[in-house]
Structure 1
């Protein structure tokens, strides 16, 4: 197979779908919050809400409270998992973990290469003026547009040069024809 002149860049490594530290912490926080909520659904609390049933059929209310707690837990976990999947939370949190690890590596590399071991802290973006932020965000787009327009301008100028040369040749041909015609008319007048 023929070699491509410009090979495609290598694809980014896929983010693992297994939970990283932040995704695991989110799952743990959800589990603790759900357990704390479900711990409030005791048979005593149900008996306070339904005193007649608690007095006449306490075993039925106890069964109902356990079933209700179990189903509520299952529904909450299923909905949480659905939200995690729909919003790609695990892969996003894993990407955040990877980004933070990369930042730590770059900071360590910068500190190692700094002459005195101290790296100047970057300016926080929220302290920059709006005009500078706008220019920073627009500069890649404006640069690409400038290059594109410069290329188009060069192409149009080359076409104009070719057209000017063509028009010049046509004018020379017309001048030669007129001169030939004038000679022909002069020859006719002499005759």
Structure 2
């Protein structure tokens, strides 16, 4: 009587690991995202940004330009960091590489079957998975991934809007401080003028008193 171990079929070999190095599709996805991000940031040009701070743009243009450059760099770093986290959390690179492997394998099997025919011992055409079957298997997965990426992108856009709102409030505060400073300067100039006039009056009185003493 055969043992239980002999009755068990051998385990299939483990699937080869999918490389985490970005393939063609992963690189293309990163390039598309980077291009879209740069296009978005280029819309926030320095002229349009400085138009929101006319007083500072006039009195401290270099500082305002440095502030604009730093803001754009922080937004770029934040957006790329979020994109990298999404790519890592969802294993996008591995899955896109896996998709490339499936497509390449299907093409090889199709090529072998066409060259050898059904009776040559190669994979017969009727055993190949049809494209609709592949699409039906992969499309829901990648639609789910796309929905999650869109949700993350919407969150990032919302955070960017919040940052812009903070910048607008800071601009209002800066404008108010500039107005207060201008009023203080005007008051100081007025006080200086009055003091100068008072000094002239006191000087005249002192000279008159000196003349009277000498009479």
Q: Greater Rg, structure 1 or structure 2?
A: 1
Closer/same/farther in 2, CA of residues 91 and 125 from structure 1, 3 Å limit: closer
How much has 1:52 moved relative to structure 2?
A: 2.9
Q: Judging changes above 3 Å, is the alpha-carbon distance between structure 1 residues 123 and 97 closer, same or farther for their aligned structure 2 residues?
A: closer
Determine the structure 2 residue equivalent to 1:76. 79
Q: Distance in 1 between matches of 2:111 and 2:130?
A: 18
Select 1:25's aligned residue among 15, 28, 32.
28
Question: Mind listing any 5+ residue stretches in structure 2 that lack a counterpart?
Answer: 119-124, 137-215
Whether the aligned pair in 2 keeps the contact of 1:46 and 1:61 (CA below 8 Å) is: no
2:100 is the alignment partner of 1:100: no
Q: 2:50 aligns with which of 47, 50, 53?
A: 47
Measured at CA, do residues 125 and 36 of structure 1 come closer, stay the same or move farther in structure 2, by a change above 3 Å?
closer
Return closer, same or farther for 1:18/1:68 CA change in 2, 3 Å cut-off.
same
CA deviations 1:60-93 (Å, max 9, x no partner) are 2101101001101100110000000111100010
Kindly report which structure 2 residues correspond to 1:1-191, keeping only aligned pairs within 5 A, or say none. 5=6, 6-114=9-117, 125=132
Structure 1 unaligned blocks of 5 or more? 127-132, 134-191
Counting matched residue pairs gives 121
Q: CA deviation at 1:106?
A: 1.7
**Greater share of helix residues, 1 or 2?**
2
